[in-house]
Structure 1
Amino acid sequence: KKCWGHNLLKLIHDLFSTNKESAAQQDNKLLEKNRSLVMLLATLVVSITYAAGLDPPGGLWPDDRDGHKGGDPVLLATHPTRYKVFFYSNSVAFVTSLVVIVMVQSTLLLQHHILHAAMILDLFGLITAYAAGSGRDFTTSIYVVALAGVVLVYVVIHIVFFTLEDNMDQVHQRDADKLDKRRDMLLLLAILAATLTYQAGLTPPGGFWSADDKFGHRAGFPVFLDNYPRRYSAFFYCNAASFMASVTLIVLLVNPTLYKPGIRCYALYVCTVVSMFGLMGAYAAGSSRHLRTSIYVFTLVAAVFAFLTIQVVIFLMQNHRRGPTVNVSSGKVASDTGTEEKNLREYLMPIGVLAASVTYQTGLKPPGGLWQDNNNGHTAGNSILHDTDRGRYRAFFYSNSTSFMASIVVIVLLLPWKGLHLPLGRMYAAILLDMLGLLVAYAAGSTREWETSSLVIALVVPVLAYIAAYAAVFLFRNKCQCGKGRANEDSA
């Protein structure tokens, strides 16, 4: 009896010891997740605020004239209050992020969410800096800030009305890992949109006027605004909507109380889609100067969707012809399929993000630079390459636009929508189109000779030949080793 009691006490002790160890492991895992999240956000803010601080909105004076010093910010002279609001908000975000990066190893600060609070301050600094630097009047800045409020109010209302009867605690316990992975995906897309739109909003396509002139142009104002006011407004508000939606999304994703129900009711997915379509609208308006070209860009979206739809239909028809198959190990097959889809999604999403980031920036600021004045029949802010070598510019523009639009479409379709199970393998075709567009755009935009462009594209052949040769050597070596092994076995 004494032995039984001793064993029972030992069992209870071991049980609680295991639970404590498990709880400690869970705490460490959560701590590392929080550390990675804070580090990621701080790195984002440092990268964009550093660039914005060195290349401020409004541009720099090109030389010493009219009492200005060459290299000084134009906005400081024309709108001193607005520039100071931008500068100090941007600087606060930059310095705070640097401090957070240095102190992110502190367990105490992470456990008490002090660094999370600092990152929220960072994001509000970004919003203020963007509102001050992207506009030139108070009303426009208020509209920009109001966009963030609209997104936040929408998410809260969506969560409240669509999760009233859900038992959130039970669902979160069961799907915690799945929600965390979806949060990571949404956070990646939000960071992509915030990075691109912050820079594009502060330094819009077309550049800035470098001085006041007799035509009414004012130094520090966007050239795009004066030459194409409607197109600039479309670009400005699409870009601002994407930026505010992405920053608000990041703020919500930091708070588990908000992001878990927000993901379950797809409110945060809607914000992500709005952000992505805002990018598309800003690209279509800012990358070209003619309505017909913008229509062509949006037509590319429909073409990519149609292409993927055809691929999905072919896939479904092939499965229907094969008919249902019976497999005794269906559970294992389902598990393997789920793992394969997860790996494929993790492979395709970063590629789409990469292509979207590089093509958005080069589309708004094309190779060859922009005209700085309206002399000799040229329009300030227009692409120089468009006027000097139109065929090459079109090859670059349409290839770059195809890659960008295909990337955004793939990103949106890769989001795990409920009830929508697309064959991810068919996304390879869109990614292949994406990479091909990047290759052609690079070949057309990086040089001014067609022969050189052809050589750039032809580099694919030796690269593929090298890979094939390496694979052949590897297979031949394995075959020889297998032959030697069999010979040794026979001799033994």
Structure 2
Amino acid sequence: SAREALDKARSLVLLLATLAAAITYAAGLDPPGGLWQDNSNGHMAGDPILLTTNLARYRAFYYCNSVAFVASLVAIVLVQKEKLVKHHALEAAMILVLFGLIGAYAAGSCRDVNKSIYAMALAGAVLIYVVIHIVFFTLDHKDKKDDAREDLLLEKRRKRLLLFAILAATITYQAGLTPPGGFLLQDDKLGRHHAGDPVLLDNYPRRYNAFFYCNSISFMLSIALIILLVNPNLYRPAIRSNALSVCTAVGLLCLMGAYATGSTQHLKTSIYIIVLAVVVLLVAAGLLLVFLLKRHGNSKKNPPSAPIKQKDQKGERKKHARRKYLMLLGILVASVAYQAGLKPPGGTWQSGDSGYEAGNPVMHDNRRPRYLVFFYSNSISFVASIVVIIMLLPQWLRKEQQGEWEKWSLRVMNWTIRLDLFALLGAYAAGSNRGWKTSMYVVALIIAVLGYFVIHMKISTCLERRRKKRDAEAAMGIIV
């Protein structure tokens, strides 16, 4: 109905505007390139370094970021005006916000003009790919008109994809503007790099480039997905042809690549992360193969005599709620783990004057066992979350197979999410303090909270039994 469409547009604008305002506000106060730490050479402590070293680039970033921030605030204030929503004025403002984010990212995430051009071209490349994918994969597609169930499923998939795209854009925008390792606070001795350049670029140019392009691809994919998901005429064929699912999967893999290259400066550790991701993916693929073989064997023994009926709406709603729950948890865990991996607790060395390598985590050198516990717990949580999100994307099974597949896969993903959360607890216990005694207190708190829930359930169960017993006795008294 018109009211539902209006509410849907309003909630979309509010969600986009809120997150855009949050990240642009943070980026404006903590600009790329860092801040001067002293008063010398014509600058003052606290001023943006780029303002001195690269004025044109800083202005491009600042004004693009400011346009996105102001447009987001205006949209939040005016979102209750139905006339503006009906005429799609606020959605047009959100497109302006997205282009502002693209411009700010291209200007602030690097110091080279060619890289800025490449970053902006990525968004256009994604849109072109989606159009080509739709054209070639929907040639024989017959659009079913007035199919309420299909429209409902498309809308649910759209919400999940939009949720991923918005949160992925948020974390990649921040990571691109403030890359892992921080920024140089002064020009290097060889004159190759200047103050405000990423430390990782100075130490390991190839690693930095790998991080930059992986993070940029994920960011631009997310922005392109948001642009496509705003318009029903665009997202319907794109979702039906699985073009958006392919883009999301590529974005997730690039996010994993950015994490592997940006969370450590050691090649061996990056390889460990990639191996960990491959192992988890192979386990998921193995489970999928077992399912398909089992399904194939059962179909041979017991060929279906009649088409399987569709499940009732209550069951569909329940499955959708579980998928939404898993997607939300997976995205949130991946987001916090990604940010924590790129900016580890304890910070990084800002220079190599003290005998340590600039950009290396301080905890890695001072408290190596604790850092390793944090790093690998955080990495397990991140990788498992990415795998869960990828498993939630495909919709390629036939309808008669979907019921059994969803029942089986949702159980696997539930256990994977639990692994995520336990690994996240381990990372928190190791990274939030510097003493093993305090870490044990965190573990004890977990046990205490679980004990509280057990006690609460026991008391609640006993009270429920007593209430039922009293009701039964009262009923018997009435009968007598």
TM-score by length of 1: 0.90
Cα distance change of structure 1 residues 317 and 458 upon mapping to structure 2, 3 Å threshold = farther
Equivalent in 272, 278, 300 of residue 248 of structure 2: 272
Q: Which residue of 1 aligns with 2:423?
A: 437
Rg bigger for which structure? Answer: 1
1:151 offset after TM fit, Å?
A: 0.5
Q: Quick one: distance in 1 between partners of 2:361 and 2:474?
A: 70
Q: Which residue of 1 aligns with 2:438?
A: 452
Q: Quick one: distance in 2 between partners of 1:173 and 1:166?
A: 18
Equivalent in 42, 58, 65 of residue 83 of structure 1: 58
Q: Which residue of 1 aligns with 2:267?
A: 291
Cα distance change of structure 1 residues 471 and 97 upon mapping to structure 2, 3 Å threshold = same
1:433 offset after TM fit, Å?
A: 1.2
1:416 offset after TM fit, Å?
A: 3.7
Equivalent in 148, 163, 166 of residue 188 of structure 1: 163
Cα displacement string for residues 372-424 of structure 1 (whole angstroms, at most 9, x for unaligned residues): 11123201111000001111111100100000000001001011421173521
- Asked if residue 199 in structure 1 is aligned to residue 199 in structure 2, the reply is no
Cα displacement string for residues 78-131 of structure 1 (whole angstroms, at most 9, x for unaligned residues): 110111011000000100110011001111111111111111111001101100
Equivalent in 151, 154, 160 of residue 126 of structure 2: 151
Q: Quick one: distance in 1 between partners of 2:291 and 2:449?
A: 31
- Asked if residue 126 in structure 1 is aligned to residue 112 in structure 2, the reply is no
- Asked if residue 27 in structure 1 is aligned to residue 6 in structure 2, the reply is no
Q: Quick one: distance in 1 between partners of 2:167 and 2:349?
A: 29
Q: Which residue of 1 aligns with 2:368?
A: 390
The answer to whether the 8 Å contact 1:286/1:364 transfers is: yes
Equivalent in 456, 465, 469 of residue 455 of structure 2: 469
Cα distance change of structure 1 residues 177 and 405 upon mapping to structure 2, 3 Å threshold = same
Equivalent in 229, 232, 236 of residue 260 of structure 1: 236
Secondary structure of residue in 1 paired with 2:145: helix
Q: Which residue of 2 aligns with 1:399?
A: 377
Q: Quick one: distance in 2 between partners of 1:481 and 1:316?
A: 48
Matches within 5 A, 1:60-459: 60-168=35-143, 170=145, 175-216=150-191, 217-309=193-285, 331=309, 337-419=315-397, 421-422=405-406, 423=408, 424-459=410-445
The answer to whether the 8 Å contact 2:263/2:343 transfers is: yes
The answer to whether the 8 Å contact 1:53/1:90 transfers is: yes
Q: Quick one: distance in 2 between partners of 1:115 and 1:321?
A: 53
- Give 2:332's aligned amino acid: L
Identity level (%): 54
Secondary structure of residue in 2 paired with 1:100: helix
Q: Quick one: distance in 2 between partners of 1:363 and 1:145?
A: 26
Gaps spanning 5+ residues in structure 1: where?
Answer: 1-25
1:448 offset after TM fit, Å?
A: 1.1
Q: Quick one: distance in 2 between partners of 1:336 and 1:106?
A: 34
Which stretches of structure 1, 4 residues or longer, exceed 4 Å deviation after superposition?
171-174, 309-326, 330-337
- Give 1:447's aligned amino acid: N
Cα displacement string for residues 357-384 of structure 1 (whole angstroms, at most 9, x for unaligned residues): 1000000000011101112320111100
Cα distance change of structure 1 residues 262 and 54 upon mapping to structure 2, 3 Å threshold = same
Q: Quick one: distance in 2 between partners of 1:314 and 1:463?
A: 37
The answer to whether the 8 Å contact 2:245/2:394 transfers is: no
Q: Which residue of 2 aligns with 1:10?
A: none
1:148 offset after TM fit, Å?
A: 0.8
State the Cα RMSD in Å.
2.4
- Give 2:353's aligned amino acid: N
1:171 offset after TM fit, Å?
A: 7.2
Q: Quick one: distance in 1 between partners of 2:411 and 2:385?
A: 15
Secondary structure of residue in 2 paired with 1:60: coil
The answer to whether the 8 Å contact 2:186/2:194 transfers is: yes
